[in-house]
Chains A and B, each alone.
Chain A
Amino acid sequence: MKRGRLLGAYTGLVIAYLCLPIFVMILFGFNDTKGRYNFTWQGFTLSWYRHLFDIGGLTDALVNSLTIAVFATILSVVLGTTLGLAIGRYRFRGKAGLDLMLFAQIATPEIVLGASLLSLFISLGVPRGYVTILVAHVMFCIPFVAITVQARVVGLDRSLEEAALDLGATPLVTFRKVTLPLIMPAVLAGGLLSFALSIDDFVTTSFNAGQTSTFPLWVYGASRIGVPPQVNVMGTLIFVVGVGFAVVTAFSNRQTRGGREVGAR
Chain B
Amino acid sequence: MTVTEGGVSVADGAVAADSSAQDVAAIELVDVAKDFGGGADSVQAVRQVDVAIRPGEFFSLLGPSGCGKTTTLRMIAGFEEPTRGRILLYGDDMVGVPPYRRDVNMVFQSYALFPHLSVYDNIAFGLQRKKLGKSEIAWKVQQMLEIVRLEGKERRRPAELSGGQQQRVALARALVNQPRALLLDEPLAALDLKLRQTMQVELKRIQREVGITFIFVTHDQNEALTLSDRLIVMNEGLVEQLGTPHEIYEQPATKFVAGFIGTSNVLQGVVDRIVGARAVVVPADGEQVLVPATGLRAGQQVELTVRPEKVVIHAGGEVPAGERSAVRGTVTDVTYLGTSTTYTVSRGDESELVVFQQNASSPTAAARPGDIVWLSWLPEHSYVFASASHDSRSPDTAAAS
List the interface of chain A (C-beta within 8 A of B): 157, 159-160, 162-171, 173, 177-178, 181-182, 256, 258-263, 265
Contact across chains for B173 and A167 when beta carbons are under 8 A apart: yes
Q: Looking at the complex, which one of B99, B110, B113, B160 makes contact with A165 (CB distance below 8 Å)?
A: B99
Residues of the B chain whose Cβ atoms lie less than 8 Å from the Cβ of A258? 115, 157, 159-160
CA distance A163 to B125 in the complex (A): 10
Q: Are A256 and B129 in contact (CB under 8 A)?
A: no
Query: Are B108 and A162 closer than 8 Å at their CB atoms?
Result: yes
With a CB–CB cut-off of 8 A, which chain A residues contact B317? none
A-B pairs with beta carbons under 8 Å apart, 13 shown: A163-B173, A167-B174, A168-B100, A168-B101, A178-B114, A256-B115, A256-B116, A258-B160, A262-B158, A262-B159, A263-B113, A265-B110, A265-B111
| Contact of B112 with A168 in the complex, beta carbons under 8 Å | no
Question: Contact flags (1/0) for B144-161 with A, using CB distance below 8 Å?
Answer: 000000000000011110
**Closest Cβ of chain B: how far from A234's Cβ, in Å?**
37
B129 with A263: CB separation less than 8 A = no
**Which residues of the other chain, A, contact B177 by a CB distance below 8 angstroms?**
167-168
Task: Select from chain B the residue with minimum beta-carbon distance to A167.
Answer: B126
- Given the contacts A165-B100, A265-B110, A173 and B129 also touching, CB distance less than 8 Å: yes
- Let me know if B113 and A262 touch, CB within 8 A: yes
Q: Are the C-beta atoms of B129 and A262 separated by less than 8 Å?
A: no
Within the complex, which residue of A157, A162, A168, A259 is in contact with B129, where a contact is CB–CB below 8 Å? A168
A80 to chain B, nearest CB (A): 22
The residues of B with any CB-CB pair to A shorter than 8 Å are 77-79, 98-101, 105-106, 108, 110-116, 125-126, 129-130, 157-160, 166, 173-174, 177, 190
Interfacial chain B residues near A263, Cβ < 8 Å: 110, 112-113, 115
- CB distance A169 to B100 under 8 Å? yes
Contacts A167-B129, A167-B177 hold; do A159 and B108 have CB atoms under 8 A apart? yes
B190-A166 in contact (CB<8A): no
Q: Distance (Å) between the CB of B72 and the closest chain A CB?
A: 16
Q: Which residues of B contact A171 (CB under 8 A)?
A: 100
The SS class assigned to the A binding surface is helix
Residues of A within 8 A of B173 (CB): 163, 167
Are A166 and B166 touching (Cβ within 8 A)? no
Which A-B residue pairs are the 6 nearest by beta carbons? A259-B115, A168-B129, A167-B126, A163-B112, A159-B112, A258-B159
Q: Which residues of B contact A259 (CB under 8 A)?
A: 114-116, 157-159
A166 touches B100 (CB 8 A): yes
Q: Which of the listed residues A177, A260, A262 has the most CB atoms from chain B within 10 Å of its own CB?
A: A262
Return chain B residues, CB-CB under 8 Å to A162. Answer: 79, 99, 106, 108, 112
A262 to chain B, nearest CB (A): 5
Do the beta carbons of B99 and A260 come within 8 Å of each other? no
A167: chain B residues at CB < 8 Å are 100, 105, 125-126, 129, 173-174, 177
With both chains docked as a complex, state the minimum distance between the C-beta of B358 and any C-beta of chain A, in angstroms.
Answer: 43
Checking B100, B110, B115, B166 against A159 with a beta-carbon cut-off of 8 angstroms, the contacting residue is B110
Contacts of A260 in B (CB 8 A): 115
Please name all residues of chain A whose beta carbon is closer than 8 Å to the beta carbon of B77 when the two chains form the complex: 166
Q: Give every chain B residue within 8 A of A261 (Cβ-Cβ).
A: 159
Contact B115 A265 (CB under 8 A): no
A163 near B108: Cβ-Cβ < 8 Å = yes
Shortest Cβ gap from B247 to chain A (Å): 32
Q: Smallest Cβ distance from B213 to chain A, in angstroms?
A: 16
The CA-CA distance from A163 to B122 in the complex, in Å, is: 10
Q: How far is the CB of A3 from chain B (nearest CB, A)?
A: 36
Instruction: Give CA–CA (A171, B79) in the complex, Å.
Output: 13
Q: A163-B173, A167-B174, A265-B111 are known contacts; what are 17 more A-B pairs with Cβ within 8 Å?
A: A160-B112, A162-B99, A165-B79, A166-B99, A167-B177, A168-B177, A173-B129, A178-B114, A182-B116, A258-B115, A258-B159, A259-B115, A259-B157, A261-B159, A262-B111, A262-B115, A265-B190
Inter-subunit contact B125/A169 (CB<8 Å): yes
CB proximity of A145 to chain B, nearest CB, Å: 21
Query: With the chains together, A262 CA to B116 CA distance in Å?
Result: 10
Contacts of A160 in B (CB 8 A): 112, 114-115
Give Cα distance in the complex from A170 to B110, angstroms: 22
